[in-house]
A and B are shown apart, each in its own frame.
Chain A
Amino acid sequence: MTFASFLSSAPELGPEWLRESLALTNGKQNGQVSSLRRNETENSSLPSEPWGATIQRIESFFQLGDDWDGLGAKAPEHELLKSAVGLAYLFSERGVPAPVAVVPGLDGSVNFEWQEPDGTIAEVEIDRPFHAEVMLIEPGKSPSFWRLPTEAASVDS
């Protein structure tokens, strides 16, 4: 399954994203959150590679503080990181290819980026807890944009 086909046929994504995220348990080291897993065993439910590495990369963002870049970047907040890990679990379960990169934004966001061999580029920018902006650029087509989740989903549901 490609990234684009998954997202364009996933109206139910919001509730599932929420469920995945709320099921995560904090793992702590030295009193600080260092991991998010589906149960209390540190590595028992980490997806296979390369999604496992993607999730561990997101977890590493817990170590970031404000001004992590020396030029005033904002660190991602805990709930936003939890959302990002939850979305990564959901993508991995659905067979979506892992992104080529996952990076913290300079504005406190978390960004998944896909670069496909045909020149297709996609981004999911998680800009607040349980909310993301998606961009898809396919060769020869106008860029398309949409938001996750659908309007029907809500953090309080």
Chain B
Amino acid sequence: MDELDPVDDAEFVYRRIHRTFFDKNAPIPVQFPAFRPNVNDSTGLSVFRALFVQPAQTVANIDPAKANEYLVARLLVQDLLRLGLTVAPEPAGDEAPGHAVIPQLSWDAYRADKQKWKPILVELAKLASKDLVHLPA
């Protein structure tokens, strides 16, 4: 299988979450700003296809001192589709294998209609909170 192949509904993707956005005692432990795009997300919000990478590998390209600050959540593509989101393959040389993006959550798209997307980010945080597959070392 090739990284450029279309993403199947039954696939899982991983999302890196900085520990700043995690509180194990909160009703929803992952805070939804973890899914808010920033100016670097020009083509969409970064995720990694589980078919091509292990959770811990998704932080391999980050400064080692900071990589240990990350959790990784697993999301089912089908759940994303229900939220009106898709996943597009976007392999990148400076990222781990299986890099992909959620194009609906590019920086420009998000800024153009925050009121539409913020409640979706909350739903992503709820999904992520239920399936954390990698915790900081």
List residues of chain A with CB under 8 Å of any chain B CB: 69-74, 100-101, 103-107, 109, 111, 113, 115, 117, 121, 123, 125, 133, 135, 137, 143, 145
Contact = CB atoms under 8 A, between A and B. Distances in A.
A133 to B, nearest CB: 7
B33 A115 contact: no
Contacts of B27: 100, 115, 117
B115 A143 contact: yes
A132 B38 CA distance: 17
A137 B33 contact: no
Contacts, number: 67
B26 A143 contact: no
B122 A137 contact: yes
A70 B62 contact: yes
Interface in B4-28: 16, 18, 20-21, 23, 26-28
B18 to A, nearest CB: 5
A69 B26 contact: no
A71 B39 CA distance: 11
B134 interface: no
B136 interface: no
Nearest to B39: A107
A99 B38 CA distance: 23
7 contacts: A69-B20, A69-B66, A71-B62, A74-B39, A107-B36, A111-B31, A111-B33
